[in-house]
Amino acid sequence: MPLSRPIRSTTIGLLLVALLLTVISPPSIAAPGNGNAVAAQPRANKPGRPAEPQVREKRIQWETPEETRKRGAYMRQTGVATRAAAGDFPSESMTKCWNAPYPPGTNRVILDHWLWCTTARAYLYFFEKCQGPPPGNGCVEVGSINFRVAVMGHGHQDKDSPAARKVKYWMMLDDPQAFGKVDYTATLSFTGTCKSYTAGAPCQAAPGNGRTDTVEGWIAAGYADWEYSSPEGSNTSPDKIAFFDFDLLGTMSSPKIWPSSAPVIAPGQAGFRCDSARYQKWPVGVQSYGCVFDGVRSIWTFKATADVAQTAKHVWTAQFKPNLTRPPSVKDKEIPGSIQSGTPLSRLAGAAGTPEANSHKANRDKSIATCKTNFGAQYSRNQTRDCDEYPMASTNQGAWTGSNDPAVETHHYSVRPLKSEDNQAAGRLLEEFYRTERVINTDEFFVDVVAADGGPYPGLQEPEGISSPIANRQCDLRQPVVSNVQKTAPPEQTFNDYARTTPNGWTGGDSTFSVKLPDGRLLFLFSDTFLGPLKSDGTRPTNAPFVNSTFVLKDGDNLTTLRGGTAATPKGLMTPAAEKHWYWLGDGLIHNEGGTNYLQVLFQEYYKFGPGDWDFRHKANFVAWFSLANLGTTHGHEPLYVDPVPSTPGVGWGSALLPASRSGDGYTYIYGVDDAPINKQMRVARVRGTDLTGDWEYLRPGTGWMKHEKEAANVFTGIANEYSVTPWYGGFTVLSQTSTAAFSGEIRASVSCSPHGPWQLETLVYHMPEPGPYGSYQDGTIFAYNAHIHDTLSPEDGPFTLSYNVNSFDSQVSDTAHHYRDPSIYRPRFVKFSMTPTGGTR
């Protein structure tokens, strides 16, 4: 309710009425679903928490996100006297309470764990001719005096001694305004009361608390204070946590009047908490003690200074662009902790061996495991990167405690490998926040990422504009002519023979890219793969392992399958990052880094969003780094590192690669597809050298090579999801299954003088005979796809060897289903052909 005039007592002569500071109801909280941020929902009282009315949910200072933001900005502007230093209560000016950002409708605010404020004006009234208590009874008001009243509460902490468990309230009356007749000899006293809500935890008042003086004395020096300490006593809580309340009563008395009282601070408004938390070490290894106003959500102002820029960017991205973070989720991610979200984090802390300490470790273990899954088993790059997680492992919203149900489809956390020095510096800032704000187990707080100068964080700053001009090359470009087509070309029969006899290797797969290793051996890259063995009659058992990616090493006519997992449990090369997610691989190349050769392969991530066979979408693109050591071992070939690359949804990269050694200009050209059911379109990017994790440039015809993927444009219509770009008679040829019709059987080639096009002079290379009801299988469920030339099998200018894949829409798992009755369906076909220029125009 608003401030109002107090009830008036009477005297025969003058009367002075007590001070009244009215209790204000907190503002209402926005309900879910109205578009506003929603405060954290009430939860059950935790073990060791105090009984009503001192549970935090009853004492918490409810704020809108805007009110929290204003409070945080005010504290950054005015500064906070640190409590992380030895000594008594720091000096604070009452100006901080006078100017505080009080929430609408209330005259009190908790600024942080250390400062509690209230302010109002107090009115005292004097009467004559009263025949009884006013109003009425013949009373005539003859004068009044009012003061500005402010009370500031101070928390406290120190190390070494439980004597640091204390708080202080001090009051200031100033700006007196008197009207008419005032009895300056009337006595005004203020009495504070501290109440403990924790058994065995007394609240001890310091000598000299409070003050009684005349009105004239208060005008001369309007100060009073109350100090209370909380000995650990017989408190049985391991961390000696105790909860208290403080109220303040003002009383007016005089020989001429009847005493009259009114609350300055009503019960339930200014509670505090004391603790001897064993894990609150200060600075290192020394236990600290203290008392705070815990009815407020603290704010960690995380400044994105140069030394913590990577971590700050990660936290901001997790808060405001969560769907860009790892691990992925089928549904939209909502990661808590920002002021805007209205949903705070809460600290998870405990001494060694406690459930809290064990949960902290579980959070960290899950974060590291998630980093390995999403960024490679050796994401640390020789201990130069740390796995950063947000929300932090030291919160109840961490990777494990926030959601430890393995069946959950939405992960409300993020991990990212960051430079160790950056991440560890940010960790020290977090520990300093916990220490200086005395945030203990279950205390709630927000993380407010701001710019280095304290201003608004600029967000994700993406490069834009032209990186390089387009340089179209000149050549004698002529119409291609195809001849000498040979079906069942090598190494098709080698793969078929291997599939019939392998005990646990490749028996069928798709994609079928190939890379020549530095020692001359060939490595074939497959996406979805069936593993052996086949039955003696050549059919596939229904329990045959099926994984999303494998390599097959070809050494002469000897083949060896390389996969992930263990000897007993086969898995794909790339472990799915989340439920209903998987990877399909693209093209690869050899890259030398620091004298070591690695295989870099582009992978595309997809996710299932519905029950249908085709209810899946493209999610993101990655470069995986594979070791070339131990290629004789069949299992355990997961990537060392996995790096995200540009990932506009629906644009898959890795359809083809043209290495720098074959492009003629020192760039590796990276080809992708803007996916669609038909009339798919080509995308082109490039990177200098052979490192696919370098700075990409994106083709925008007529403009230039652009700095950001969003500035790219499609360049060629009718391409497939996989294709190839190969040097050809002084120019280049792109070979692909045409997508101008769904599941077309035609493989066509176009040519250009430049590796980025424009592509022209299209010619039919081959018609795949298998698909459709009139195909070689005479089955409408059979289709063919993924045509591309293998440079590894083709000399300069030909003859060329292409491969394509055959598959079936029959996805059943049964002895009569296509993939089990006839394993030969799901294997690549190899075709050898010549293509030479003749006639035509330049």
Identify the CATH number of the domain in which residue 542 sits: 2.115.10
Picking from 150, 151, 146, 152, the residue whose alpha carbon sits closest to that of residue 175 is 146
In the predicted model, what is the mean pLDDT of the chain?
89
Amino acid identity of 754? S
Give the residues across from 642 on adjacent strands: 624
Does the residue 613 lie in any domain? Answer: yes
Please list, in sequence order, all residues whose beta carbon lies within 8 angstroms of the beta carbon of residue 571, skipping any fewer than 6 positions away. 547, 563, 564, 565
Instruction: Identify the domain boundary among 240, 275, 310.
Output: 275
Share of the chain above pLDDT 90, in %: 79
For residue 37, pLDDT over 80 is answered with no
For residue 488, pLDDT over 80 is answered with yes
> Same domain, yes or no, for 266 and 326?
no
Helix (H, G, I), strand (E, B) or coil at 346: strand
Model confidence at 41, pLDDT cuts 50, 70, 90, reads very low
> Same domain, yes or no, for 268 and 303?
no
Contact of 325 with 333, CB cutoff 8 Å: yes
Does the residue 283 lie in any domain? Answer: no
DSSP 199-256: TT---EEPTT-SEEEEHHHHHH--EEEEEEE---TT--STT--EEEEEEEEEEEEETT
> Same domain, yes or no, for 664 and 782?
yes
Does the residue 42 lie in any domain? Answer: no
> Same domain, yes or no, for 209 and 329?
no
Does the residue 290 lie in any domain? Answer: no
Task: Provide the domain limits for residue 199.
Answer: 56-75+94-275
Does the residue 423 lie in any domain? Answer: yes
Beta strands 550-555 and 546-547: pairing type?
unpaired
> Same domain, yes or no, for 516 and 646?
yes
pLDDT for 57? 66
- The structure tokens listed for 388 are 């950063």
> Same domain, yes or no, for 115 and 210?
yes
Model confidence at 558, pLDDT cuts 50, 70, 90, reads very high
Residue whose token pair is 């928490």: 49
Give the residues across from 479 on adjacent strands: 838
> Same domain, yes or no, for 411 and 487?
no
Give the residues across from 177 on adjacent strands: 146
CA distance 756 to 734: 10
pLDDT digits (tens, 9 = 90+) for 505-548: 999 999 999 999 999 999 999 999 999 999 999 999 999 999 99
Helix (H, G, I), strand (E, B) or coil at 436: helix
SS (H, E, C) 638-689: CCCEEEEECCCCCEEEEEEEECHHHHCCCEEEEEEEECCCCCEEEEEEEEEC
Does the residue 289 lie in any domain? Answer: no
pLDDT for 20? 31
For residue 33, pLDDT over 80 is answered with no
Mean of pLDDT values over 352-357: 95
Run of H or E residues at 734: strand 731-737
- The structure tokens listed for 224 are 């009073």
3-state helix, strand, coil in the chain (%, to 5): 15, 40, 50
pTM: 0.89
Contact of 335 with 412, CB cutoff 8 Å: yes
Number of domains the chain contains: 3
> Same domain, yes or no, for 338 and 402?
yes
> Same domain, yes or no, for 388 and 489?
no
Contact of 12 with 40, CB cutoff 8 Å: no
Picking from 344, 457, 342, the residue whose alpha carbon sits closest to that of residue 67 is 342
Quote the Cα angle for 607-612-614, to 5°.
Answer: 60
- CA distances 577 to 377, 640, 651, Å, are 13, 15, 19
> Same domain, yes or no, for 561 and 677?
yes
Half-sphere exposure of 551 (CA within 13 A, CB side): 32
> Same domain, yes or no, for 809 and 735?
yes
pLDDT for 80? 62
CA distance 624 to 766: 33
Does the residue 85 lie in any domain? Answer: no
Does the residue 529 lie in any domain? Answer: yes
pLDDT for 130? 81
Picking from 392, 410, 409, the residue whose alpha carbon sits closest to that of residue 401 is 392
For residue 49, pLDDT over 80 is answered with no
pLDDT digits (tens, 9 = 90+) for 250-274: 988 776 665 678 899 999 999 999 9
Picking from 507, 622, 637, 513, the residue whose alpha carbon sits closest to that of residue 571 is 637
> Same domain, yes or no, for 447 and 535?
no
Model confidence at 841, pLDDT cuts 50, 70, 90, reads very low
Contact of 722 with 788, CB cutoff 8 Å: yes
DSSP state of 400: T
